[in-house]
Amino acid sequence: MVNLPRLLNGVLSAIVAEHDGMKVIGEADARDAVAEARDCDANVVVIGTEEGKTDAVCAMMRKAMPELRIVAIGREGRRATVYEPGDAPREANEVSAEVLVEMLRGAPR
């Protein structure tokens, strides 16, 4: 997880912990996100969106690790965008626990 407020990080970690086959394996600052994702052999990264910074972080990660799924969650926890390898970004305007899990798992649309 990258750049998430502590409370949102805790909520997301709790949601992930309730699902088999999923686990949070680390936290990173945006500048260390690519190295941490590689070190952890992550297949999905959750990024807390920040005005004017999220696009740059996503672009950097997509360039360095094109096979990686990225879920960018608004810092208020209401909106999210999933970036799938080879697909256009997909947005959700209401993020429930079920929607988050689908985004993390890469469920079919």
**Owning domain of residue 78:** 6-105
Number of separate domains in the chain: 1
Distance of alpha carbon 32 from alpha carbon 99, whole angstroms:
27
Q: Is 94 among the domain residues? A: yes
Sign of torsion, CA 92 71 68 65?
positive
Query: What is the tens place of the pLDDT at every residue in 50-78?
Result: 765 677 888 888 899 999 999 988 877 78
pLDDT of residue 67: 92
Residue 16 falls inside a structural domain: yes
Residues 6 or more apart whose CB falls under 8 angstroms from that of 71 comprise: 44, 45, 46, 47, 80, 81, 82, 83, 100, 103, 104
Mean pLDDT of the chain: 82
Please indicate, yes or no, if residue 1 is contained in any of the structural domains.
Answer: no
Q: What are the tokens at 14?
A: 């709790």
The answer to which of 7-16, 51-60, 64-73, 80-89 has the lowest mean pLDDT is 51-60
